[in-house]
Amino acid sequence: MRFPSSLSSHSTQLVKKRTRMKVFAFVLIFCVSFISTTTSFEAKQQDPELPQCLHLCKQQQAYSETEKRECREMCKKESGDENPYVFEEKHFSTVMKSDHGEVQILQRFNHSLLKGIENFRLSVLVGNPRAFFSPAHWDAETVIFVAQGKGSISLVRPEKRESINIKCGDILHIPSGTTVYLINRDDNEKLIIIKLLHPVSTPGVVETFFGVGKESFFKAFSGELLEAAFKTQCSRVEKMFEGAGDSILEASEEQIRALSHHEEGGIWPFSESKGTINLFEQKPLKSNDYGELREVSPKEHRQLQDINIALAFINVTKGGMENPFYNSKSINIGVVNRGAGYLEMACPHLSSHSSSGGAPISYRKVNAHVKQGTVYIVPPDHPVIIVASKDQNLELVVFQINARDNKRFSLAGKNNIWKQLEKEAKELAFGRPSREVDQVAGKEDEDWFMKGPSQIPQDGAYIRMRTE
Amino acid sequence: MRFPSSLSSHSTQLVKKRTRMKVFAFVLIFCVSFISTTTSFEAKQQDPELPQCLHLCKQQQAYSETEKRECREMCKKESGDENPYVFEEKHFSTVMKSDHGEVQILQRFNHSLLKGIENFRLSVLVGNPRAFFSPAHWDAETVIFVAQGKGSISLVRPEKRESINIKCGDILHIPSGTTVYLINRDDNEKLIIIKLLHPVSTPGVVETFFGVGKESFFKAFSGELLEAAFKTQCSRVEKMFEGAGDSILEASEEQIRALSHHEEGGIWPFSESKGTINLFEQKPLKSNDYGELREVSPKEHRQLQDINIALAFINVTKGGMENPFYNSKSINIGVVNRGAGYLEMACPHLSSHSSSGGAPISYRKVNAHVKQGTVYIVPPDHPVIIVASKDQNLELVVFQINARDNKRFSLAGKNNIWKQLEKEAKELAFGRPSREVDQVAGKEDEDWFMKGPSQIPQDGAYIRMRTE
Amino acid sequence: MRFPSSLSSHSTQLVKKRTRMKVFAFVLIFCVSFISTTTSFEAKQQDPELPQCLHLCKQQQAYSETEKRECREMCKKESGDENPYVFEEKHFSTVMKSDHGEVQILQRFNHSLLKGIENFRLSVLVGNPRAFFSPAHWDAETVIFVAQGKGSISLVRPEKRESINIKCGDILHIPSGTTVYLINRDDNEKLIIIKLLHPVSTPGVVETFFGVGKESFFKAFSGELLEAAFKTQCSRVEKMFEGAGDSILEASEEQIRALSHHEEGGIWPFSESKGTINLFEQKPLKSNDYGELREVSPKEHRQLQDINIALAFINVTKGGMENPFYNSKSINIGVVNRGAGYLEMACPHLSSHSSSGGAPISYRKVNAHVKQGTVYIVPPDHPVIIVASKDQNLELVVFQINARDNKRFSLAGKNNIWKQLEKEAKELAFGRPSREVDQVAGKEDEDWFMKGPSQIPQDGAYIRMRTE
């Protein structure tokens, strides 16, 4: 699994330029609006302002190549020719990093179409073999999924510590504010953990608090207070909490052994604990030659109830596809765990025809080629099709926000909803004998997963209006 | 019941003009502010900026009549001389329409005083005799109320279909994402359904998804994918899902018969269902010669619990009125189902005296003449009086948002709160012997509904400060 | 207890000036930004723009002294050299006031860092001996804490009235919309009540409705309607509800006696009531020579469950301190009830190093000298130290928002979290033998409260970056 990296310096730069860019964009849009009302432009499939905006970007002599690229991105965003549902490596930034691992966080979901998940954040932790992540706590309810490797995690609570071995497929809910430390207990394999964070303090903002390390929060306190709190000379307190400096360190083999002596798979030392759940050990909800779907839901697992999140693991066999379907209530955040594929979604919000004017609603295609590390969003009720590539299985980890009472509606395949219509309803809606409808809607025998298309469409990750 | 119509084209136009208007409004307000600080103006009962703003609208030579009207509306809005609590026909827009029926949606509740209901939408469906509404799903939890006629509704779920006959007074909670189709099973009468929608994806935005019809969401998908999903040539799939074209069609008498064979009134074919509730069949909470109040609340009806909404049906006899009262917790959205009347509300937010400066709080009158199709909002704790016209009963359907533990407080009539004050409290608060208080507060013998005023005040739907 | 007063006229003035100030601030910041990029400035510990901004304020010849002060405050706010977590007397404004008492409300929590409590308001009621607060209702769920004195409160509900004597330490949940009246039943002592309000209508806005008094809400209704509602001549209705005029009056000794005949401490006349809870009568959670902590939580007390608020009373003995700790989930609003002290908090949000760029997170010190009437906020997971002054105990009333499942984590003292780390985890994180860690982390024997520092830091209520 490749993860976003070396992007941090760029991000900082970007922030500095934002104000300047905004002013520019405003002027630009204003100019372009003026031009577009006075000239006739022939582009049919996209916003007519876009090419002109791009042209203006090109002409800015004073711009560096980076600034020109940012200008182009701004154009695409302003013209609506953007895909707010797909995130790549470049949308992550580094929270912490050392030679032994790193933690990255996906940008905020602050697009107007992502309001339903604006108070969630996605983060990925990568620990090299024998990495030790120093104790820290953070202000968010957290659900973790172990995407790769073997580790041992310790949750320090006011009254006790819980330590547990974790392995690939494990799910764990960590309450906000728990002090946590973690090791990768393997000598060779990386440990990869995907975290969904639900901040409890400031919506969409997660703050991490390190007591130990060169930036320990104890440094913010006055010496007099530290001296009183620890009955120890201030300089000695400070020196101790500076600790080993970094927050991601390397443990020795002996230390790993000592920190891994816990029972496997959810045997917790204290009665109140609810243990981990392993997603791979769930009975598949759907399974055939073309794919498999497993799920862990708040209905069965108490530790997911308050946060109301389900997790699904979907493995689409190479050459296969998931049937067109929609979720009734939950917003899904999918992460490609392994492999590659392609997705298409029908999206009314992005339609060029406004639905408010009485004109018929039309749906725009949102599509993306996805690969390991891609994050995608599927809003509730949006029909979506997910296809594996021809040569690799597509493995997806899906966080389902607002999971309680969510249902998946199948739009094709063995158990599709069209089959449930009464004969007369089929005749009326489809305007033809119901037997003709049955011929098409009833042809596919497979349930949920099915043989994929002979060819995957080639256009890119941006939205294209379909030519008809 | 008349419903807003033929407004859609205007709406679209309006959207286009909005940007231009905003810039204008800004300049206008700026100018007017300047003027109003340098001249002395005599208007006592309204914002002094308003007449000047209106005058400037009149002087804009380049404006069409429509633009001048919009300008005037903008003035009223900016000067605060508006009533954010009452909606008329013009505030609705058409979502879908054919010769056989239409669906209209009320504009968003995006006024700062309506924050408490900003994530709700109100919609009205009208089906002509034998109309068939094609299968669709939408991204909102929905509570429907059958305001007129007889229909049959089918709810398609992943594992089953539920079909049920509905009639005037029926209430039904439809979970988000359910695929629904519907007929008016009467040969003569229109079917009218009022829906309260609670979006699950983007706050305040409802999107409808049609699988079948000339704008089917399947059109957004690539041909290759459709071919794989249905094991059928792409063109044939597309043609089939284009179906009968429109989303509102007319069924034949035989089709109506076939689609109406379900049991009446909430006998559901599957065990998990909770059936409809009929509001008219509830025992009245209040009833006398002057009116009747019936209610269906989340306390007694499980299907209203999660959405925490109650529905009330109020019938004020012609010449009668509802006593002055307030709701302790719930925000009420009322719809006039039949008849005409008048309402007055005491409103502190709109008061010209700010309550933050230590000046005594004063209350402004919000009033409106209401008729069939008017929608009005009563925020929690706002005292309100509702009066029927002299010659027609006033029928109200009221959606009560945040209904759990709401209480209605009576401010006059047989069971008013003043009667509950201790003798000394009456003396202190009213500054006179408690017996004098009792003479006024205890005079009315009727509970809740009472004889109305001899004359209904004549001023219009806008707010007027009371002259004293 | 001193409470904010005589600030109302100033507030009103301030509102008027705000627009002007904003324009000024914008120009100022723009200028300063320009200057600061072209000159080199030596200030190390604060935003380089701040001194220049302050200098510009000084130079404004046209400014009055008040305007200059406001200008300086604006500079501090814009430069980030502000403390959004501490509120003083000047941040309150008067809601109502007479010779016999007053009600003040703290400004809205509208800072971006206070999003988690933006829909809460804090209010303080002070009643002189024998004060009577006239019946009123308001649109907020309310938790009251009696900070001083003895009173009697009456809650009027549609079906009954509940009257109860209250005394110092009592906690009561008043449902939104309840009509309430209140007396101070003592002849000498003031009655002081601290209220936490959770508005149910417009977020962050509380509106109070008075039926009786010179600004009665009945005045907003038309005479015709009042006449019909009370079957009494309109002028007589109006005159009666004008009542005694003021909303805070003085009762006679006889009236006090009559209104105080209720049972003490939570004996309620009706079965459904849940009574008051007295915070001082709770068994302390923590107690030693240096302080005491008592708590009332939603877990044990049903009336606090829906609103999910806990209350704590903390008494830090003079010369003592509370150990460094953090709350895992709840946001705390603390009010200094008596005494004086000092607090320090480690705050990542205000750090000058952005945490998003991959740079190490650092924490900024937020500190404040606090005294009777100071209100302070501690967000979840922020380490904080609270110290009593040398010569007075520090008494704190703390409202804990989002209290369910909140845990307090101790960072020093007998039961600190560092002691729970495994030996190897200590070695790794601290980079030294675990025995050395134990020497520092294990030195203090006291739990939670401990001996304070020999000297309290002298710098003021504003944030200073620590020099290292």
Is residue C240 within 8 A of residue B430, CB to CB? The reply is yes
- The rounded distance, in Å, linking the Cα atoms of A349 and B205 is 9
Helix and strand numbers (H, E) in chain C are 8, 26
For the cut 80, the answer to whether the pLDDT of residue B250 exceeds it is: yes
| A-chain residues near C444 (CB < 8 A) | 229-231
- pTM (2 d.p.): 0.84
Q: Give pLDDT tens digits for C329-372.
A: 999 999 999 999 999 999 986 644 344 444 456 898 999 999 99
Mutate to test the interface with B, among C93, C240, C274 (most CBs of B within 10 A): C240
| B-chain residues near A405 (CB < 8 A) | 175
Instruction: Provide the pairing of β-strand B170-174 with B320-327.
Output: unpaired
For the cut 50, the answer to whether the pLDDT of residue B85 exceeds it is: yes
Residue C264: its pLDDT value, please?
A: 47
Amino acid at A79: S
Per the model's pLDDT, the better-predicted residue between C100 and A2 turns out to be C100
Phi, psi of C321 (to 5 degrees): -150, 160
By CA distance, what is C160's nearest residue in B? B420
Q: Give pLDDT tens digits for A296-349.
A: 999 988 889 999 999 999 999 999 999 999 999 999 999 999 999 999 999 986
Residue A154: other Cβ atoms inside 10 A: 21
Interchain proximity B229–A362, CB inside 8 Å:
no
For the cut 80, the answer to whether the pLDDT of residue B6 exceeds it is: no
Residue B66: its pLDDT value, please?
A: 62
- The rounded distance, in Å, linking the Cα atoms of A237 and A216 is 11
Q: Give pLDDT tens digits for A136-172.
A: 999 999 999 999 999 999 999 998 999 999 999 999 9
- The rounded distance, in Å, linking the Cα atoms of C314 and B29 is 52
Name, in order, each residue with C-beta under 8 angstroms of A334's C-beta and a sequence gap of 6 or more: A375, A376, A377, A378, A396, A397, A398, A399
By CA distance, what is B174's nearest residue in A? A328
Residues 341 through 370 of chain B touching chain C, CB cutoff 8 Å = 344-349, 354-365, 367
Residues 288 through 327 of chain B touching chain C, CB cutoff 8 Å = 321, 323-324, 326-327
By CA distance, what is A383's nearest residue in B? B217
Tokens of B309: 């909404």
Interchain proximity A217–C363, CB inside 8 Å:
yes
Name, in order, each residue with C-beta under 8 angstroms of B77's C-beta and a sequence gap of 6 or more: none
Tokens of A272: 């109140």
Chain A: partners with 3+ C-beta pairs within 8 Å = B, C
Chain B: partners with 3+ C-beta pairs within 8 Å = A, C
Amino acid at A120: F
Is residue C199 within 8 A of residue C140, CB to CB? The reply is yes
Q: Give pLDDT tens digits for B182-218.
A: 999 999 999 999 999 999 999 999 999 999 998 899 9
| B-chain residues near C104 (CB < 8 A) | none
Share of chain C above pLDDT 70, in %: 74
Nearest-CA distance from C15 to chain A in Å?
27
- The rounded distance, in Å, linking the Cα atoms of A415 and B342 is 53
Share of chain A above pLDDT 70, in %: 75
By CA distance, what is A464's nearest residue in B? B220
The number of angstroms, rounded, from the C-alpha of C361 to the middle of its chain's C-alpha atoms is 29
Residues 9 through 38 of chain C touching chain B, CB cutoff 8 Å = 9, 11-12, 15
- The rounded distance, in Å, linking the Cα atoms of A135 and A158 is 14
Mutate to test the interface with C, among B290, B316, B355, B445 (most CBs of C within 10 A): B355
How high is the mean pLDDT of chain C? 82
By CA distance, what is A409's nearest residue in B? B158
Is residue A346 within 8 A of residue A365, CB to CB? The reply is yes
Tally of residues, chain A: 468
Tokens of A31: 């100019």
User: Cα–Cα–Cα angle for B361, B367, B368, nearest 5°?
Assistant: 160
Share of chain A above pLDDT 90, in %: 67
Mutate to test the interface with B, among C14, C225, C239, C242 (most CBs of B within 10 A): C225
Per the model's pLDDT, the better-predicted residue between B117 and B267 turns out to be B117
Helix, strand or coil, per DSSP, at residue C261:
coil
Could you report the predicted ipTM of this complex, rounded to two decimals?
Answer: 0.81
Closest CA relative to residue C408, chosen from C303, C286, C308: C286
Per-residue CA distances from C37 to A63, C48, C49 (Å)? 20, 10, 10
Nearest-CA distance from C100 to chain A in Å?
40
Q: Give pLDDT tens digits for B392-419.
A: 999 999 999 999 999 999 999 999 999 9
Q: Give pLDDT tens digits for C164-207.
A: 999 999 999 999 999 999 999 999 999 999 999 999 999 999 99
Residue A258: its pLDDT value, please?
A: 93
Per-residue CA distances from A390 to A288, A290, A397 (Å)? 17, 12, 20
Mean pLDDT, rounded, for B20-35:
34
Domains in chain A (CATH in brackets) are 8-82 (no CATH), 89-273 (2.60.120.10), 282-413 (2.60.120.10)
By CA distance, what is A252's nearest residue in C? C428
DSSP per residue, B73-106 = HHHHHHHT-S-TTEE-GGGEEEEEEETTEEEEEE
- The rounded distance, in Å, linking the Cα atoms of C275 and B110 is 40
Residue A467: its pLDDT value, please?
A: 30
Residue C81: its pLDDT value, please?
A: 57
Helix, strand or coil, per DSSP, at residue C131:
strand
Q: Give pLDDT tens digits for A99-121.
A: 999 999 999 998 888 999 999 99
Q: Give pLDDT tens digits for B356-394.
A: 444 456 899 999 999 999 999 999 999 999 999 999 999
Q: Give pLDDT tens digits for A182-219.
A: 999 999 999 999 999 999 999 999 999 999 998 899 99
Nearest-CA distance from B172 to chain C in Å?
26
| CA atoms C294, C297, C301, C306: torsion sign | positive
Interchain proximity A255–C358, CB inside 8 Å:
no
Identity of the residue in A161, A208, A230 whose CB atom sits nearest the CB atom of C444: A230
Please identify which residue in the block is written with the tokens 């792409």. B234
Residue C438: its pLDDT value, please?
A: 94
Cβ–Cβ contact A333 with B under 8 A: no
Per the model's pLDDT, the better-predicted residue between A31 and B430 turns out to be B430
For the cut 50, the answer to whether the pLDDT of residue A3 exceeds it is: no
Is residue C101 within 8 A of residue C127, CB to CB? The reply is yes
Residue B300: its pLDDT value, please?
A: 87
Share of chain B above pLDDT 70, in %: 74
Is residue B390 within 8 A of residue B318, CB to CB? The reply is yes
Q: Give pLDDT tens digits for C45-75.
A: 344 556 666 676 676 666 666 666 666 666 6
For the cut 60, the answer to whether the pLDDT of residue A402 exceeds it is: yes
Residue C274: pLDDT band by 50, 70, 90 thresholds?
A: low
Tally of residues, chain C: 468
Q: Give pLDDT tens digits for A254-310.
A: 999 999 966 544 434 333 345 789 999 999 999 999 999 999 999 988 889 999 999
| A-chain residues near C456 (CB < 8 A) | 224
Identity of the residue in B321, B355, B422 whose CB atom sits nearest the CB atom of C259: B422
Interchain proximity C379–A202, CB inside 8 Å:
yes
